[in-house]
Chains A and B, each alone.
Chain A
Amino acid sequence: MTDITYLEAIREALFEEMERDRKVFCMGEDIGAFGGAFKVTEGLLAKFGEQRVIDSPISEIALVGAAAGAAHMGLRPVVEMQFIDFIANAYDMLTNYVATARYRAFLPCPMVVRGPSGGYVRGGPFHSQNPEAGFLHTPGLKIVYPATAADAKGLMKAAIRDDDCVLFFEHKYLYRRIKEVMPDGDHIVPLGKARVAREGNDVSIVTYASTVWKALEAAEIVAAEGISVEVIDLRTLAPMDDEAIFRTVKKTNRLLIVHEDTRTGGMAGEITARVNETCFEWLDAPVLRVTAADIPLPYAPALEDYVLPQTADIVRAVRRLTAY
């Protein structure tokens, strides 16, 4: 058994699903001959051919629209956004067309839109975005954002098999930085189920994707001070695992929500509202957020690091919560 990276885990999921089901095919810009900007789809063309690994024009609207049309006809397309920032070009197609198809017309849209997301990579404003909040608001879409290599594989396989459209955000900082041995066999991680990344009793951190690792690092630091932190990795943002969130809040009575995305209108605000409606009596402290500042993500290391949430910010927030 060898370790494989987060990126290789996604590639393995694509290979396995395309092998398992002839209805699965991939489309995207430079995904075939070149293997994708990050090489996620490397080797797919040689194995599955041009009919099932389609190099497209630079047309995010057409990619998402064509995927929907093919999905209506019973195929299971996987579309790559070269950088997830470009998904904004397909916003209309995703929110107006795809998200409503089942409800308004009983048309299934089993498709995955995936792409490299997130910052900490000196990518600047258009190669670092986290677009989840922009789609969280739209009923009809599912959103996945894994933190570990095994989850990346298992969630991708579940997303491809899901009967609705799944937006699958892959964290590009994690692509080649984390490795693990994949579980045996047909490894599936069900959508909508959070994971306890670390057990603890004093403070809960609810987070996902890159900041799971920062939260774990912070938990280790405060453990030395005698503070026991529980870290919940959401894995799927829509549907959200409310029960897992409420369970940890009722256990520790203190909640910190951490995400790399900007603050206003983000996931953390929504989670806070749900906890407020359901767990008000269980809280011993206000719900706190550590997020990026409401700033387009800048390029210079000093600027980027200042805007994005860091481990020290999380440590500070945990200490503030335990002071109540």
Chain B
Amino acid sequence: MAKARTGRDTPAVTARPSDALSRERKLELYYWMKLTRQLEERLVNLYRQTKVVGGLFRSLGQEADAVGSCFALEQRDVMSPLIRNLGAMLVKGATPVEVLKQYMAKADSPTRGRELNIHFGDIGEAGVTRGFLGQISPLGDMVPVMTGVTMSFKMRGEDRVGLVYVGDGATSTGAFHEGINFAAVQKCPLVVIVENNGYAYSTPTHKQSAVKFFVDKAIGYGVLGLQADGNDVLATYDVTKAAVDHARAGHGVALVELITYRRKGHAEHDNQSYVPAGEIEKWAAENDPIDRYVQVLRSTLGVTDAEIAAIDARIMREIDEATDLAELSGTPDAREALMGVYAEPPAEQPLWFRRDVVADAYGQERPESWGTWNADGAKP
């Protein structure tokens, strides 16, 4: 009986692209992973001080897959992240101060207080923009959008590649299927990274899909399928670089499965009661991507503790400076809320009952004021 052909059988990585990375570049990988982790730690502090006005999403334990994969892109390429790809955003040029302002809903945040967390972007012409496209919350939707972005590269004959992240959960959506299929048919230069981190909110992977590995889906779309240990930053870089090269050479779509583990809940409020006892601790103790990479740096490049400490100190200094800067920024003027739904008209008219109202009062509404009136209208 002929062996069933799966995406994983597709020959791909022969030499390791990461062998060609200089010592400096390899230390950069450490920098980006540690920056991601420490920036999120700072956000936790700010969240507890209620300075983060919404939810907080962590990528603890997934820093290698975000950083290693995005490190394989060129500046002119375009990447669309997921909520757990802060590391990829930083690699692509998003700054800590932008992220902090965004979480704190500041007036001069990248979305001027309109959108949450890392939902922001900077795309357009190569060289002028940093090349990351903000996601929206419905999962899978960024796959078709990135199909269109990469279709534009093809139509204009531009030497650019797109990369879109989805989670194990998003592979169940119709948008994922339609997007990757359309891109495959059109041979768009698109890399689709499936981050298999074990859970979609509380749903474990085996309830998400009957396939054992998501890379097996590649065969169903007729695209290159590759897989790597997402907690090994060099392996992640290697496999993504192969996928990016494949797309850049005009061979079309590649699906890359990165196997990792989500050590925090869906968001900061999630107590992870659904996770089997000991599972998180085991991953933290035995398979932390930063610990693992420090071992590699020490053993293969002779990186010293002093070098690591110097990078760590630089990261803390940068985060402190960014935090100070972000805290200085003000909150948006309420009237800005009406601007920019359309190019034309540039602003919507205030509703009649808001026409003569001073907008300064808004932003002070609190849920505590709700439900404090009795049915008869008297205050308790």
Hey, which bits of chain A sit against chain B, CB under 8 A? 25, 51-52, 54, 56-57, 59-75, 77, 89, 92-93, 96-97, 100, 102-108, 139-140, 142, 162-164, 239, 277
List the A side residues contacting B186 at CB < 8 Å: 54
Which among A59, A69, A70, A89 has the greatest number of chain B C-beta atoms within 10 A? Answer: A69
Point out the residue from A62, A77, A97 that lies within 8 Å of B182, measured CB to CB.
A62
Q: Are A73 and B149 in contact (CB under 8 A)?
A: yes
**How many Å from the CB of B223 to the closest CB on chain A?**
14
Binds A, one of B63-71, B137-145, B191-199, B302-310: B137-145
Cβ A57 vs Cβ B181 within 8 A: yes
A65–B340 CA distance with the chains assembled, in angstroms: 21
Inter-chain CA distance A64–B141, complex, in Å, is 10
The answer for the CA separation of A302 and B153 in the assembled complex, in Å, is 52
- Whether a CB of chain A sits under 8 angstroms from the CB of B146 is yes
Contact B145 A61 (CB under 8 A): no
Q: A62-B181, A102-B341, A102-B342 are in contact. Are A92 and B175 (CB under 8 A)?
A: yes
Q: What would 19 A/B residue contacts be, using CB atoms closer than 8 Å? A: A54-B186, A57-B178, A59-B181, A62-B178, A70-B148, A72-B145, A73-B148, A75-B152, A89-B174, A93-B141, A102-B342, A104-B136, A105-B111, A105-B115, A108-B343, A142-B342, A163-B344, A164-B343, A277-B352
Complex CA gap A67/B155 in Å reads 13
Q: Given known contacts A69-B145, A103-B114, what 18 new A-B pairs fall within 8 Å (CB)?
A: A56-B182, A63-B182, A65-B144, A66-B151, A69-B149, A70-B149, A70-B155, A73-B124, A92-B141, A93-B144, A96-B136, A102-B340, A105-B119, A105-B120, A105-B121, A107-B121, A140-B342, A164-B342
Determine how close the nearest CB of chain A comes to the CB of B54; give it in whole angstroms: 14
* Docked complex Cα distance between A283 and B121 (Å): 50
The answer, yes or no, to whether B44 is at the interface (CB within 8 Å) is no
B275 on interface, CB distance cutoff 8 Å:
no
Residues of B within 8 A of A (CB): 111, 114-115, 119-121, 123-124, 133-134, 136-138, 141, 143-153, 155, 174-175, 178-179, 181-182, 185-186, 340-345, 348, 352
Residues of B within 8 A of A66 (CB): 144-145, 147-148, 151, 179, 182
Chain A residues lying within 8 Å of B175, measured Cβ to Cβ, are 61-62, 65, 92-93
Bound-state Cα–Cα, A60 to B120, Å: 25
A100 to B341, CA, bound (A): 7
A70 contacts across to B, CB distance below 8 A: 148-149, 151-152, 155
- Asked if B182 contacts A59 (CB within 8 A), the reply is yes
A72–B133 CB distance below 8 A:
yes
Neighbour of B148 across the interface among A68, A104, A142, A163, CB < 8 A: A68
Partner of A104, one of B115, B149, B182, B348: B115
Rounded to whole angstroms, the CA-CA distance of A233 and B285 in the bound complex is: 70
Chain B residue contacts of A162, Cβ below 8 A: 343-344
A292 vs B185: C-alpha distance when bound (angstroms): 41
A-B pairs, top 5 by smallest CB distance, nearest first, are: A69-B148, A65-B144, A66-B148, A62-B178, A163-B343
Pair B342/A25 contact, Cβ less than 8 Å: no
Distance, CA A143 to CA B148, complexed state (A)? 23
Residues of chain B with a CB closer than 8 A to A93's CB: 141, 144, 175
Q: Smallest Cβ distance from A246 to chain B, in angstroms?
A: 14
Kindly provide the distance from the CB of A287 to the nearest chain B CB, expressed in whole angstroms: 19
Specify which chain A residues have a CB less than 8 angstroms from the CB of B121 in the assembled complex: 105, 107
Minimum CB–CB distance from A65 to chain B (whole Å) comes to 3
Q: Which residues does chain A contribute within 8 Å of B352, judged by CB atoms?
A: 277
With a 10 A CB-CB cut-off, give which of B174, B178, B181 has the most chain A CB atoms.
B178
The interface residues of chain B lying within 8 Å CB-to-CB of A63 are 144, 182
State whether B340 touches A25 (Cβ < 8 A): no
CA distance in complex: A97, B146 (Å): 12
Residues of B within 8 A of A25 (CB): 155
